[in-house]
Amino acid sequence: MKILSNITFPINLQLLKQVLTSALRRRLGEQQEELFRKFFRSQTEMYNVLSTELRNGNGKRPFPSGSSTEDDIDKYHDQDLVAWLRFNQFPDETIRKIIREEFTLTDFNKSVTKEDLRDIGLK
């Protein structure tokens, strides 16, 4: 039997294009799903880190609803805020009002407005 070495088969370009397009779409979908999973995982991790940062060492909010005491000022999770308020000669009662609202020094540096302070009873 003679082997044919120069046989060519007609290539169906349309079929080849469809097969390649389908494979590329499938691969793109898989990569997109993986990116969404990674994004969601990173957002969840970021939320957990931020939540932890806002809590004190025992995992609870700094103060339960109700009044705080003199000792609470020194136990507040954002001692940088407390130090800044004391440096600027805020009275302890004012400091208590501020920490009862769970403000942070970052809040004061970036977003607290006069209206926010009025809302908690400060002038």
Domain ranges of the chain: 13-53, 70-119
pLDDT at residue 24 in the model:
92
pLDDT at residue 27 in the model:
92
| Stated length of the chain | 123
Find how far residue 64's CA is from the centre of its chain.
24
CA distance 91 to 100: 14
SS3 state of residue 41: helix
Asked if residue 26 has pLDDT above 90, the reply is yes
SS3 state of residue 116: helix
Asked if residue 72 has pLDDT above 80, the reply is no
User: Residue 57 carries which side chain, given as an amino acid letter?
Assistant: G
